[in-house]
Amino acid sequence: MMSKHTQVYTLPIRVYFQDTDAGGVVYHASYVNFMERARTEWLRDRYGYSNAGLMNEFGVAFVVRSLKLDYLKPALLDDLLAVSAQIKDAGRSRVTLLQSVMRGDELLVEAEIHLVCVAMDNFKPVGIPEVLRKQWKD
């Protein structure tokens, strides 16, 4: 049986006019926003924590340390996309996610995102809350 952290989480996202350039093609930075939404909902739906909840309960937040995106094909105005998030690995204060953007069976963008858990009072790295870390390391 697959553990919860190895399962792929997918969020449907419709491409709106605001996401595109004048030609109706999704602007490259919009994919970063789509992936942020998918990560946020993945954390909420899969593990029961909103970003605000992590800040309020633990005084921490996840920030992007680095990201690598490969743009393979363009998404277009009104496309229905499936944006995924899946844990690749996790450490004491960092987590690496694999993300993709699909249109049906077509892979449009793939990414590797490195997040670091930081304290809200000084933005220095701290340990991921145990309630999450134990689920991510099983």
The residues annotated as belonging to the active site are 21
Tell me how far apart the alpha carbons of residues 64 and 36 are, in angstroms, rounded to a whole number: 10
Q: Please report which helix (H) or strand (E) contains residue 51, including its range.
A: helix 51-58
Joined tokens for residue 26: 């999704």
| Among candidate residues 89, 86, 14, the one with its CA nearest the CA of residue 43 | 86
- Give Cα 35 to chain centroid, integer Å: 5
With H, G, I as helix, E, B as strand and everything else as coil, classify residue 49.
coil
Selection from 64, 48, 127, 47 nearest residue 99 by Cα: 64
